[in-house]
Amino acid sequence: MVPTSDNYFATLNSAVFSDGSFVYVPPGVKCPMELSTYFRINERNTGQFERTLIIADKGAYVSYLEGCTAPQRDENQLHAAVVELVTHDDAEIKYSTVQNWYPGNSEGKGGIYNFVTKRGDCRGKNSKISWTQVETGSAITWKYPSCILRGDNSRGEFYSIAISNGYQQVDSGTKMIHLGKNTTSRIISKGIAAGVSQNTYRGLVTAHRKATGARNFTACDSLLIGDKCGAHTVPYIEAKNSSALFEHEATTSKISEDMLFYCVQRGLSQEEAVALVVNGFVKDVLQQLPMEFAVEAQKLISISLEGSVG
């Protein structure tokens, strides 16, 4: 699904990958447990190039989680993975990521470059692929989990929380490519920028000439903490037939001093106040995560933002 010539990092991955995971769910099987994987980059001067392929056959269902961490190192390290998902008729894959690669030190030294290609193919009728990601780590993230909505009535979803602090740069979003009839997609993106970081949502929603009745709803919300960070929203929207209906909403807000003071006056410390406000901001997306993961993610969000307010 991701050809070797797709992009520079996919080519590199295809050339050197040695490991990864493969999941096949037979027709009619609903996987009763959350499949869970954990990635770690341990060695100095190495990169990680794993591949993941998940196929849900007719009427099958699976939920797959991945978590990532790496120890602190002064050198930059590369993570260039490829993930491919395929759903046949009436099948569903739910793919969740909590990414906490080492982001570099307070001066922006070191950290992981996270350049990942993730693509889902809703090949069958009424099939569904849902991406949920919580991105808190990495020095630089380029990541656009996509859905090709080929089957009629298929559905793609993308829920994202991207947090950047210190010198991190996050450029993430999704592509929803509507090819079949009456295909629907939904994008909810929450970007939080602190420190001197830059946080970008970049996304594409497109409806093919023959994709009649395509529908998309997109909401991109950005939250700024402090006055040295940036939030950017770059949506590409292409409707090539007149029956497509696309909605895009975007907001940018700042955590106000009044909001923090209100919480602090009620007894919360400054950091607890920031964590509370941010967790409220990302609640819609957190709810998409499996229960245990949501609790972890909530803690991770608080940790990632430590020291973001004076």
Partner 1 sequence: MTALLEVKGLKVQVEDNEILHGLDLTVNQGEVHAIMGPNGSGKSTLSHVIAGKPGYDVTAGEILFKGEDVLEMAPDERAAKGVFLAFQYPVEIPGVTTMNFLRTALNAQRKARGEAELLVPDFLKKVRSVADSLNIPMDMLKRGVNVGFSGGEKKRNEILQMALFQPSLCILDEMDSGLDIDALRVAADGVNVLRSKDRAMVVITHYQRLLNYIVPDFVHVMSKGRVVKSGGKELALELEESGYAQFEDKAA
Contact residues toward partner 1 (CB under 8 A) are 256-259, 261-270, 272, 276-277, 279-284
Instruction: Using the minimum distance from each CB to partner 1, give the nearer residue, 229 or 277.
Output: 277
Chain centroid to CA 15: 25
Residues in the chain: 310
Instruction: Using the minimum distance from each CB to partner 1, give the nearer residue, 71 or 307.
Output: 307
Instruction: Using the minimum distance from each CB to partner 1, give the nearer residue, 62 or 285.
Output: 285
Instruction: Using the minimum distance from each CB to partner 1, give the nearer residue, 250 or 276.
Output: 276
Q: Are 81 and 49 in contact (CB under 8 A)?
A: yes
Tell me how far, at minimum, the Cβ of 163 lies from partner 1, in Å.
15
Tell me how far, at minimum, the Cβ of 258 lies from partner 1, in Å.
5
Tell me how far, at minimum, the Cβ of 265 lies from partner 1, in Å.
5
What is the C-alpha to C-alpha distance for residues 21 and 2, in angstroms, rounded to an integer? 16
Instruction: Using the minimum distance from each CB to partner 1, give the nearer residue, 68 or 255.
Output: 255
Q: Residue 206 has which token pair?
A: 């497109």
Tell me how far, at minimum, the Cβ of 254 lies from partner 1, in Å.
13
Chain centroid to CA 56: 21
Tell me how far, at minimum, the Cβ of 212 lies from partner 1, in Å.
36
Instruction: Using the minimum distance from each CB to partner 1, give the nearer residue, 38 or 262.
Output: 262
Tell me how far, at minimum, the Cβ of 170 lies from partner 1, in Å.
21
